[in-house]
Structure 1
């Protein structure tokens, strides 16, 4: 058995920030999960639907691994990424680092991991790997007792080799960071304004505040969009609240990031953004509850109410992000 010692496996809520937290703490840099999410400009929105999809998808964050890239660039740390089409080379990439005492981040399809009881393909899942033997790999993941889990080497290989939406070619990554790297006002402002500008200027109508507005219009038709509303609508609500989002489709994490930053920056625009995202987080949880209720009852009224709230949310989040862009004036 080969293990990296001294791994901090504190409970966290979102898979990519969980993996990042393990890697950064091992380098001596300890940031809260909301701070990792916010400094990675992780918040976004996408309304994703197509003819080959069983049911629409609501996403509340940037694409997989963009958060990691954003965070590394913003902090000024070295991000080392390896990808390969070869399963053999992929395994060697990981074991060489663990043998050298370094935990490794992995992007993979959670469907193949032994400890996932609900089997759904998701190629944008992240774990931190810190050990292995001749049968299993030892990982840190979200939603697990003490954060630590194990999965068979066969399952891990399948998870890493999976192809499909949001997958990567056996992607593994590590971070090199100075032992002393304080979070600066400039880093916070850059991350907030980058996130806000992307949210306010989406290239297509399915993204950002425009995507929320579109979701508000489309959600009214969801009972007609599925032949199994008692399955699809509650599952959507579950994904919004429980599937590694931190609740409220990542809005709780961003609210907490803004709250932490108000202790570092005394600024009225930041306080406005925090107040509005506190309101938005509550409303997103209400939307999820209404979606679940519509699926269980089969009645459109709950979706009409959710549609109205989503329209409000489009305006609230747009106003919040406009306030946060004004932080650039402090630069």
Structure 2
């Protein structure tokens, strides 16, 4: 027996916004992927390194699932989150909504999913589940992973039960719109200013614009950080450009969000932020290319160049976020269609 919820699958780039798009369209809320990312205040930066890590990690967004919570709050949606250590209860938590005709979001470790070609542990992966039968689960993942895909129930159970960095205890969630339709465009300014304030005032030096500056210094030393630079540096570059970031470490998504906002609101600060993030997106792609070239060629000068690009990015993104933070002190006029 097969149980399937009718959904719309749309080609998207980032896992959490892909799943959110499926759940929200089912509720009659149709927003672009950049708008979902921006309204969820998704942009950030972290330079993450520790003794138990093989190589440093550059992250360009907020923690897994934080985007979902931000978006639900901004749009006034009911977010029901369930976690459990029981595999049986975890399966009941998703079959209940599916049987009732509602898709479910899942956070899991992508390593165990049958359709993933590159087997890397990532416990913060998010998918939308829209159906199941006696053997398989029907999921929506990013366009890169195939969009509408299937995986065995056994593999799904392993992915949900995984433990390690960024994992959750069989986390599943649903989103429900209330009686009053949300007004997403009214939340643009609060979403942007919250993102800017967090970026400009990080609690530790590894985050926000300070983290990018720190990365600029440390990336120059990466040949001393690895015994396999020909593996680790191209892998770091790949994660920046291709691993569900939408390119340029999520800066392409935020650039496109700001572009969409400039068509809705008349604000010089907003236009400045968009112009600077357009510049930043290109520089992130340049930095990723230099890191990849360093690993492939063994040329340390490429890492020096990448460090210089990151120095510029710390300055440019700080300037962009300062401009965007000023949105809170003005009332941008809506642009009439």
TM-score, reference length from structure 1: 0.98
Taking the aligned partners of 2:132 and 2:47, their CA distance within structure 1 comes to: 39
What are the residue-to-residue correspondences of 1:153-168 with 2, within 5 Å?
153-168=153-168
Taking the aligned partners of 1:256 and 1:41, their CA distance within structure 2 comes to: 14
The residue aligned with 2:236 is 236
Map Cα deviations across residues 158-202 of structure 1 (whole Å, 9 max, x no partner): 0000011000010000000147433233x1000000000000000
The residue aligned with 1:183 is 184
What are the residue-to-residue correspondences of 1:97-108 with 2, within 5 Å?
97-108=97-108
Taking the aligned partners of 1:305 and 1:255, their CA distance within structure 2 comes to: 24
Instruction: Pick closer, same or farther for the CA change 1:145–1:213 going to 2, 3 Å.
Output: closer
What are the residue-to-residue correspondences of 1:169-318 with 2, within 5 Å?
169-178=169-178, 180-185=181-186, 187-318=187-318
The residue aligned with 2:48 is 48
1:2 Cα deviation after fit: 3.4
Whether 2:65 is the aligned partner of 1:68: answer: no
TM-score, reference length from structure 2: 0.96
Instruction: Pick closer, same or farther for the CA change 1:82–1:145 going to 2, 3 Å.
Output: closer
Structure 2 residues not aligned, in runs of 5+: 332-337
The residue aligned with 2:127 is 127
What secondary structure does 2:41 align onto? coil
Instruction: Pick closer, same or farther for the CA change 1:137–1:290 going to 2, 3 Å.
Output: same
The residue aligned with 1:325 is 325
Map Cα deviations across residues 266-306 of structure 1 (whole Å, 9 max, x no partner): 00000000000000000000000000000000111110010
The residue aligned with 1:83 is 83
Decide whether the 8 Å contact of 1:10 with 1:146 is kept in 2: no
The residue aligned with 2:334 is none
The list of structure 1 runs, each at least 4 consecutive aligned residues, that deviate by more than 6 angstroms after superposition, is none
Taking the aligned partners of 2:177 and 2:281, their CA distance within structure 1 comes to: 33
Whether 2:59 is the aligned partner of 1:59: answer: yes
Taking the aligned partners of 2:208 and 2:144, their CA distance within structure 1 comes to: 31
Map Cα deviations across residues 52-72 of structure 1 (whole Å, 9 max, x no partner): 110000000000000000000
Instruction: Pick closer, same or farther for the CA change 1:135–1:61 going to 2, 3 Å.
Output: same
What secondary structure does 2:173 align onto? strand
- CA-based RMSD of the aligned residues comes to 1.1
What secondary structure does 1:249 align onto? coil
Decide whether the 8 Å contact of 2:127 with 2:139 is kept in 1: yes
Taking the aligned partners of 2:41 and 2:242, their CA distance within structure 1 comes to: 21
